[in-house]
Chain A
Amino acid sequence: MVITAPINTALRAVAMLFFVVVVAACSRTPDAMPTGVGNLGPGGGAPGSQQEFLVSVGDRVFFTTDSSSLTTEATATLDKQAAWLNQYQNYRIMIEGHADERGTREYNIALGARRASVVVNYLVSKGVNGQRITSQSFGKERPVAICNDISCWSQNRRAVTVVQ
């Protein structure tokens, strides 16, 4: 519980922040799929702040159905994350792996872990100290976008980098 409490708080904060995007995405076709909270626009926060990481770097990457391969957009986001994390070494890093609702519960727990693992390995390959990183799978149990089509599922297939 020592570990989960701040994660849940952070997750809720991220979920609330992301809710704006969700509503927009579900009410009309977005011009382009968001690749992270960085799409929210200006107001990036102080250099080295968690707010800057969320808004200017982008805290999450997305996966295609049943896949844990990194897309070109995902590696671009992770490259920015790695550069930022290597600049601000005081943060610990939690990688949350998530799946969309279109799978069974246990398989999605494993799929979330596999996605988190891919992100951990990529960040380590870009010089982030593995000792700073932990990961957790939430399977399909913590969606951020709620609707019955791909506009939501594509946002729920994600790995989120939480700096703390």
Chain B
Amino acid sequence: MTLITRRNALKMGLAGGALLAGSSLAMAQLRIVVEGANFQPLPIAIPDFASSDPAFGKEIAEIVRNDLRRSGLFLPLDPASLPVQVGDVNATPDFNTWRTANVDALVMGGVERGGQISSSVRVWDTQQASQVVGSSYNTDPNSSRRVAHIIADAIYAALAGSTGYFDTRVIYVAESGPKANRVRRLAIMDQDGANVQYLTDGQSMALTPRFSPNGDLVTYMNFADGNPQVYLLQLSSGKQQRLANVGAMTFAPRFSPDGGTVAFSVEQSGATNIYVTGVGGGQPTQLTSGAAIDTGPSYSPDGSRIAFESDRGGSPQIYIMSSGGGNAQRISFGQGSYSTPVWSPKGDLIAFTRQSGGQFNIGIMAPDGSGERMLYTSFHAEGPTWAPNGRVIMFFQDPGGNDGPKLMSVDIWGRNLLTIPTESYASDPSWSGLRA
């Protein structure tokens, strides 16, 4: 994998990603207003990328179009309908032609594959006749899809008022076989479903994988030892080991924002409490106590607090405590029960699963419990995870019976419900941060 990091590519002046010379960066008026009942996705023209290999240029442009389309914020126009079929990144477009075609946002790109992949892209505001962004990127030759995702992220960042989330991966549980004896193993893929790899062989059941912030370490629940136990798996080496030796059963792990600590549940004699321990080992520290079930810990992005679920009051509800333990405050008060709290990477929202009236809901609320909104309701849905920009939630939905679960996503405005394509049944998604 390339050593030219994505962040560098976005910032660097030379090797990785360079701002293209040309018209100065105007404060473009071209902006997607993401809130509001009258929301309309922004039409955007993306001709095929210029390339000495036209098929490659077409392939890269199509990945960019697909990312932007799937965000729900953009409406890429049919490339066959455009006045220009292949982009030219080195020339100023004929703005009149594009305005006449009712195109406000225009992307011109080029890509070449040699010792590495080099791609340049400019985003134009045709009404202002100005360049919104112009950048070039180099990556290693095996990362052609990543180049396209990085470009899509740059376009999203320029026009949608937030960083993007396309150059990311999702780790999940791939499920196969009859429900009563289903095989569950870990799999990883790009956020759009491409490049699937299976990480465990299914001999022992694997559940609830979660990414570390650096994206190389994964923590999950492994049944190899009989009772499930929390494991750490390093993606780059394939090495794995048990996290801690405490209690009868350990499960429900999640990393701290600095990646140095894992919070998880420990069961002993029917009581389940939350512990933390360093990823390097050491003695686990107990954060909650009592006979209740305390599980599903999730850190706030500043690391100071932990949201978790507990049935200490009767039914499962969401509580927030200090990350050192203590001072737990209940924040969920609607009908039914609440589970799987997951703190947004932005810190402003907590996603959860709510069971009420025989239905499951995926919802969000502020960390003080206010502003609760349901984003998706069905017979069964659970396990939310956040895109790194805090705008999209992936979860899994299960129709029940002998059918199996599938991954879906929805944005925080309750729009753009998508099914994520997977080869098998799929559950427990965990979304990575933007890749380094």
Contacts and interface: CB of A to CB of B under 8 A. Distances in A.
Interface stretch (A27-35, A70-78, A141-149): A141-149
Contact of A104 (B179, B382, B400): B382
Contact of B267 (A1, A7, A110, A142): A110
Given A111-B293, A113-B272, A146-B401, A104 B339 contact: yes
B118 interface: no
Given A68-B270, A105-B428, A137-B228, A4 B295 contact: no
Report the interface size class on chain B: 35 or more
Interface of A: 1, 3-4, 7, 12, 15, 66, 68, 101-107, 109-111, 113-114, 116-118, 121, 134-137, 141-144, 146-148
Given A107-B293, A107-B339, A111-B293, A144 B355 contact: no
Given A105-B428, A109-B251, 4 more contacts: A1-B204, A7-B226, A101-B398, A104-B316
Interface of B: 179-182, 184, 203-205, 207-208, 221, 223-228, 248-249, 251-252, 265, 267, 269-272, 293, 295-296, 309, 311, 315-316, 339-340, 353, 355, 379-380, 382-383, 398, 400-402, 427-428
Contacts of A137: 227-228, 249, 267
A104 B205 contact: no
The 7 closest A-B pairs by CB, nearest first: A117-B270, A104-B339, A114-B270, A110-B272, A148-B400, A110-B293, A106-B252
Contact of A107 (B226, B228, B269, B316): B316
B332 to A, nearest CB: 13
Nearest to A15: B180
Given A68-B270, A146-B180, A113 B400 contact: no
9 contacts: A7-B226, A103-B339, A106-B208, A106-B252, A106-B340, A109-B252, A110-B265, A113-B270, A116-B270
A144 B179 CA distance: 9
Nearest to A22: B180
A103 B380 CA distance: 9
Contacts of B380: 101-102
A24 to B, nearest CB: 16
B223 A4 contact: yes
Nearest to A3: B226
Given A113-B267, A146-B402, A15 B181 contact: yes
A21 B190 CA distance: 43
Given A107-B293, A136-B227, A12 B208 contact: no
B377 to A, nearest CB: 15
A105 to B, nearest CB: 6
Nearest to B203: A1
Contacts of B204: 1, 4
Contact of B249 (A1, A113, A147, A148): A113
Contact of A117 (B269, B309, B401): B269
Contact of A102 (B180, B316, B355): B355
Contacts of A113: 227, 248-249, 267, 270, 272
Nearest to B428: A105
A104 B353 contact: yes
Contacts of A103: 339, 355
Contacts of A134: 226
A143 B179 contact: yes
Contacts of B272: 110, 113-114
Contacts of B427: 105
A105 B265 CA distance: 13
